């Protein structure tokens, strides 16, 4: 455990170095005896020689304590807020439990869930998402935009076009940078999967017609005259758990303001009411086009903000553009309760 703790702290320091200071490979060697141990590693040059660290038992204890902390960032896209952790530095073995505990507003950080940023052998980075109830999501458009900002603003990449591995495939991110900071991100959300234009379900004797769309995760989009008047806390979970959707579903109530403006409210599978849903905004536009209510490009206004969605007729891909915001960062101490 001692060796692993020290290794993690050096790796964390290595990843905070400017890109030009890092070597492509970091080697760490530990030599230990009763009185001291020595770590020889190279992650950058200093006066043409390698860095050597010597420490004592007090330093060891301090480093071990620090290794029991996880650094996190709170970020949001259009109000859809998640806790982000770089698992390349801070690996997490039981993210389902952490997602439940940390997402609670009164006893945790408070969020719609937990997002893990990791390495990938298929893309530049990988993403895993755990909802506030601990269930793992296949994809989240707002989270993918925030990851684009995270990896660029924190110096993990200098690319402005990023490939992101998700459980629903590899997504392409185009970063729009102003003054060396990412302001907005466009995401290639892929091709939607659709069924018939309208599907009817029945809840407590009431018949509801909606459009089933998959954006790598399931959605049921219902167009209504007034999205604001919908009793979302009551009807949302009933539709989410309807037998028609064996894996549950996200639920969107949408109102067309014009051919290129939509007002939408969302009940997310596993999280409940959220301020925004990127895949939900995409599914809403696709459903609008299918039912003849909207054009192929529109702004989708949600409680937390506006996303620009375009369903390209040539490629059949859906593009989503919106903000990504860094709110704050902090450390969480891992305890037996976690």
Known catalytic residues are 140, 277
Those residues whose C-beta lies under 8 Å from the C-beta of residue 286, and which sit 6 or more positions away, are 192, 194, 211, 213, 215, 221, 311, 318
Angle at alpha carbon of residue 84, lines to 238 and 123, rounded to 5°: 100
Question: What is the enclosing helix (H) or strand (E) of 232?
Answer: helix 232-240
Written as six digits, the tokens of 338 are: 């976690």
Can you tell me whether residue 122 is helix, strand or coil? coil
Per-residue DSSP letters for 2-61? HHHHHHHHHHHHHHHS-GGG--S--EEEEEE-SS-EEEEEEEEEETTEEEEEEE-HHHHH
């Amino acid at each position: 455990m001692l060796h692993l703790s020290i290794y993690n702290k050096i790796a964390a320091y290595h990843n905070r170095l400017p890109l030009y200071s890092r070597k492509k490979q970091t080697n760490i060697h530990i030599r230990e005896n009763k009185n001291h141990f020595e770590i020889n590693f190279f992650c950058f040059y200093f006066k043409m020689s390698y860095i050597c660290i010597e420490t004592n038992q007090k330093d060891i204890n301090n480093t071990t304590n620090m290794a029991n902390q996880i650094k996190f960032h709170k970020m949001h896209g259009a109000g859809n807020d998640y806790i982000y952790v770089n698992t390349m530095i801070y690996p997490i073995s039981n993210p389902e439990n952490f997602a439940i505990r940390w997402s609670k507003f009164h006893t945790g950080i408070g969020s719609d869930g937990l997002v893990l940023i990791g390495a990938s052998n298929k893309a530049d980075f990988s993403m895993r998402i755990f909802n506030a109830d601990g269930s793992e999501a296949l994809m989240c458009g707002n989270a993918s935009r925030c990851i684009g900002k995270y990896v660029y603003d924190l110096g993990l990449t200098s690319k402005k076009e990023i490939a992101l591995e998700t459980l629903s495939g590899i997504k392409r991110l185009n970063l729009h940078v102003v003054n060396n900071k990412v302001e907005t991100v466009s995401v290639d959300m892929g091709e939607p999967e659709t069924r018939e234009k309208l599907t009817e379900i029945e809840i407590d004797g009431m018949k509801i017609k909606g459009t089933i769309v998959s954006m790598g995760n399931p959605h049921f989009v219902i167009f209504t005259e007034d999205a604001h008047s919908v009793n979302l806390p009551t009807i949302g979970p009933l539709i989410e758990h309807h037998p028609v959707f064996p894996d549950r579903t996200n639920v969107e109530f949408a109102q067309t303001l014009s051919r290129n403006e939509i007002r939408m409210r969302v009940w997310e599978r596993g999280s409940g009411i959220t301020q925004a849903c990127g895949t939900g905004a995409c599914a809403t536009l696709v459903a609008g086009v299918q039912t003849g209510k909207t054009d192929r490009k529109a702004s989708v206004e949600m409680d937390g903000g506006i996303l620009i969605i375009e369903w390209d007729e040539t490629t059949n891909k859906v593009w989503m553009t919106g903000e990504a915001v860094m709110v704050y960062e902090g450390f969480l101490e891992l305890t037996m309760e976690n």
